Structure 1
Amino acid sequence: MNSMSTPFSLRIFVADGDPDGLRIVERFNASARAVVFPRALLPQVKARPELQQTGVYLLLGPRPDGEGELLYVGEGDPILPRLQDHQSKKDFWTRAIGFVAVGGLLNKAHVQFLEARLIALARAAKRVPLDNGNFPGEPTLSEADRADMEVFLAHMLGMLPVLGVHAFESAPAVAAKASPVLNCKGKGVLASGYEASQGFVVKAGSQAVKAVTPSFTQMAAACELRADLLKNGVLVEDGDALRFTQDYVFSAPSSASDIVLGGCTNGRLTWRDAQGRTLKELQTAEAGS
């Protein structure tokens, strides 16, 4: 699920004067309010009224076993006791983001619905591994409550990328007109992809090599990513190659071509359009036009 394309504005209040400290984030004319803070500040922010409300929250931090982030999605009625419990039981997280409704309008069923939807979106996107041990189903809501929570969720999903969280973003359905479909081929495989605001999208059905080069094995982040893609079923064996089962967003063109070709690559040179022009040539031409 991608955030809405309609322009919007956010108000970010730096509550303690530290840009890396406590921030209260609101979207104009919307009920969703985010409370963002590093773990170290939990003793100082626990008195915040938002944490005394019913809400949904995210815990983020480095993966203990490799590169990248780990994510936990939870709900609390109210939020604070859950965070205090995680303070003693979960070591990985370094920052938290809590979402509540202005006016305290969320109830237990609402946040259970939001939690279930966020977990489902993160599992579908397969961009950040989840620390959750359970994957709850959606509770029964009235038609009106469900509609309201879908709007609330959409507002959350629009705010999260601005806060540096991309775990719930799936690849755009189609390339933008300004982003032509590019190909990366070599070593008997062919992949197609395009640039997007989230990064570089490799399309479903694209191929990647089975055997990687010795230099690839020295690239810890790439090896970790490849292992995750195989584990999560984004890459599956298909004859003499691997195949992408879904559109997948990489952080950069080179990250994508590293996986496709199984080596250290320069994505700006390996991705080419139908006329053979490299991504670098296309970017240079566009910048000069």
Structure 2
Amino acid sequence: MAHGRSVRLYLVDGSPTGIITAEIMNWTGHVLVTPRSRLAEALQRSEATRTGIYFLVGDDPDQPSKARVYVGEGDSVVDRIKSHAKDSQKDFWTRACIVTSKDANLTKAHARYLENRFVELTKSADRANVANGNEPARKSLPESDVADMEFFIDQVQVILPVVGFDFLRPKAQGQTNTIDELPATTGTRLDLIMTSGKHGYEARAVEFDGEITVLAGSRGTTESFVTNIYASLRQQLINDGRLIPTNNPNFVEFSEDVTFASPSAAAAVITNRNTNGRTAWRLVQTGQTLKEWQDSQLEIPSGDN
């Protein structure tokens, strides 16, 4: 059973788009987030002088449908970030996130371990492209320190989406066969399918935590329609090589799992026209449309789900 968590946010200047600090009760970690335009001010804070790790995040100019992330570490984070700010090879980033420890017990060895793990996790989640040229070597730590650092990582994975970074969130993958196999998390995972007898395509997806991930191998139509508000998104996926031609000119195919913010966006990319995703997607297990399932959940008395 999933338990609630409390995250404390502090808007340093009262603005939700300015400098933000974030903490979790009974966790020694501290997160500092700043837009690049406020970097000089943020780096004057004491947190930036500690040993820690940092993320430089922005749109990937080579693949606009994904973010780009640079993961780094340093004895004094401020010095490393200052050098990156002057590096023309890292002009992509628009926000920085600094993760340190309030009790100053995070060592250089810990930071190097965390850097390696966060590069691994970012690549595994596949929500952003990693800007690090070489994957940093993992620092060998005592077993107890590894356990502490893995707990530290778990907290960072909770807190980063709260402050607007989702590059560490794992994507839903594959198909769950029974409701008993669903992971014990805060969300419900739904296996979905969308087919068309007329156009011949079939797509499978997973909805989890408010996102819908269309699975690799799913097919969409190449038939062109006048109205598709997601036409630019579809074209970007084609440009990125994530939606590719098939041997049959009537279809395109997803070359990898692709996550969308809404079921309608996913459906429109597949059908190549405006589509109500809530009625187009059906649950694999029950055959209900996504809308029918969502409506049925509203009828469950409070406390019964």
Is this a same-fold pair by TM over 0.5? Answer: yes
How has the CA–CA distance of structure 1 residues 134 and 262 changed in structure 2, closer, same or farther, with 3 Å as cutoff?
farther
Amino acid at match of 1:171: K
Instruction: With the length of structure 1 as denominator, give the TM-score of the two structures.
Output: 0.83
Change (3 A) 1:214 1:127: farther
Distance 2:240 2:223 in 1: 15
Q: Corresponding residue for 1:169? A: 169
Q: How many residues align?
A: 281
Structure-to-structure mapping, 1:233-248, within 5 angstroms: 248=258
Per-residue Cα deviation, 1:6-60 (whole angstroms, up to 9, x for no partner): 3211111222333322222111001111011111112212221111011111111
Q: CA RMSD in A?
A: 3.0
Say if 2:133 is the partner of 1:133.
yes
CA distance in 1, matches of 2:98, 2:288: 46
The change in CA–CA distance for 1:211 and 1:111 in structure 2 (over 3 A counts) is: farther
Q: Secondary structure at the match of 1:112?
A: helix
Aligned to 1:87: 85
Q: What TM-score does the superposition give when structure 2 sets the normalisation length? A: 0.79
SS of the residue 2:212 aligns to: strand
Q: Secondary structure at the match of 2:21?
A: strand
Q: Which residue of 2 aligns with 1:117?
A: 117
The answer on whether the counterparts of 2:246 and 2:253 sit within 8 Å (CA) in structure 1 is yes
Name whichever of 250-259 and 132-141 sits farther off. 250-259
Q: 1:100 offset after TM fit, Å? A: 0.3
Match of 2:68 in 1: 70
Task: State the partner residue of 2:28.
Answer: 31
* CA spacing shift, 1:75–1:264, aligned 2, 3 Å: farther
The one of 193, 197, 204 aligned to 2:205:
193
| Identity across matched positions, percent | 32
Counterpart contact for 2:53–2:99, Cα < 8 Å: yes
User: CA 1:282 to 1:226, structure 2 compared with 1: closer, same or farther past 3 Å?
Assistant: farther
Give the aligned residue type for 1:267: G
Structure 1 unaligned spans of 5+: none
What do residues 164-190 of structure 1 show as CA deviations (whole Å, max 9, x unaligned)? 111111134655795543211133332
The answer to whether 1:254 aligns with 2:252 is: no
| Aligned-pair CA distance for 1:152 | 0.4
2:206 is aligned with 1:208: no
Higher deviation after alignment, 98-107 or 277-286: 277-286
Judge conservation of contact 2:230–2:268 (CA < 8 Å) in 1.
Answer: no
Q: 1:280 aligns to what?
A: 291
Instruction: Give the secondary-structure state (helix, strand or coil) at the position aligned to 1:182.
Output: strand
Residue 55 of structure 1 contacts residue 111 of structure 1 at CA under 8 Å; is this kept in 2? Answer: yes
* Structure 1 residues 273 and 8, CA gap change in structure 2 (3 angstroms): closer
Change (3 A) 1:182 1:157: same
After superposition, the Cα gap between the structure-2 partners of 1:238 and 1:32, relative to the gap in structure 1 and judged at 3 Å, is farther
Per-residue Cα deviation, 1:231-270 (whole angstroms, up to 9, x for no partner): xxxx788865676677653322123334444555332222
**Structure 2 contact 56–71 (Cα < 8 Å) conserved:** yes
- Structure 2 residue aligned with 1:144: 144
Distance 1:209 1:60, change over 3 A: same
